[in-house]
Amino acid sequence: MILENISASLQKGKATEVKDFVQEALNQKIAPQTILNEGLIKGMTIIGGKFKRNEVFVPEVLVAARAMNAGLTILRPILVASGTHAIGKALVCTVQGDLHDIGKNLVKMMIEGQGIECTDLGVDCSPEKIVESVILYEPDIVCLSALLTTTMMKQKLVIDELKKANVMKNIRVIIGGAPVTQDFADGIGADGYAPDAASAADLAVKLIMEKRNLMKNVK
């Protein structure tokens, strides 16, 4: 019932209600992951379907997205609490031309939950900005999110620019987002693809561990 309330309030864009229901669900000892998947993401998926069928439009989707982010502010500390000490560093962003940030925010949250320190570059990030940030922050992992078929090719552009800047050997690039697939990731030379935020976090840990072992063998 409470999960349905979260989903319904999110669809109406009622941010305060969503926050209250998320808190109530936590008080009822419902697992944070269940609240996320069966409350927040479920509501957003329903809105996505209505958006596709032209039953709702950008303003409704925008308020629903704000309500989703409001709910995530309550869940965030709990979902990231498991990470105690940093095992590595990640840079997360949504690529140039793309303003969708909910999936990216979830990836950041899950990665932090695995004890990986995260720098969030936000949305609409140009390849130049990403290259500069890689040089500045020296992350182990770069996470690129793209939600539009028109922006997924920007993920390739970022990898091309990272190669040109000669920094690919120090990092591992993970890509994801609704239109992205493993085949696409393989085709553009990404080090990994994850279908969802939790898998992205698992993959980040795996790649950091592999990278550490590789470095050890080189020394």
Please identify, using beta-carbon distances, which residue of 25 and 36 lies nearer to ligand B1M. 36
Task: Give the shortest CB-216-to-ligand B1M separation in angstroms.
Answer: 26
Please identify, using beta-carbon distances, which residue of 58 and 218 lies nearer to ligand B1M. 58
How deeply is 170 buried, as exposed, middle or buried, from its count of CB atoms within 10 A (0-12, 13-18, 19+)?
Answer: middle
Structural Rg of the chain based on CA atoms: 18
Closest by Cα among 26, 105, 29 to 18: 26
The Cα–Cα gap between 43 and 75 comes to 16
Task: Give the shortest CB-31-to-ligand B1M separation in angstroms.
Answer: 16
Please identify, using beta-carbon distances, which residue of 25 and 64 lies nearer to ligand B1M. 64
Residue showing the smallest CB distance to ligand B1M in the complex: 176
| Secondary structure in 3-state letters for 52-103 | HCCCCCHHHHHHHHHHHHHHHHHHHHHHHCCCCCCCEEEEEEEECCCCCCHH
C-alpha count within 13 angstroms, C-beta hemisphere, residue 114: 24
Please identify, using beta-carbon distances, which residue of 103 and 217 lies nearer to ligand B1M. 103
Task: Give the shortest CB-80-to-ligand B1M separation in angstroms.
Answer: 15
* Tokens 């696409």 sit on residue: 184
Task: Give the shortest CB-138-to-ligand B1M separation in angstroms.
Answer: 18
Helix, coil or strand: residue 143: strand
Task: Give the shortest CB-184-to-ligand B1M separation in angstroms.
Answer: 12
Residues forming the site for ligand B1M (CB under 6 A):
41, 44-45, 47-48, 51-52, 58, 61-62, 65, 97-104, 106-107, 143-145, 147-149, 174-179, 194, 196-197, 200
Please identify, using beta-carbon distances, which residue of 87 and 148 lies nearer to ligand B1M. 148
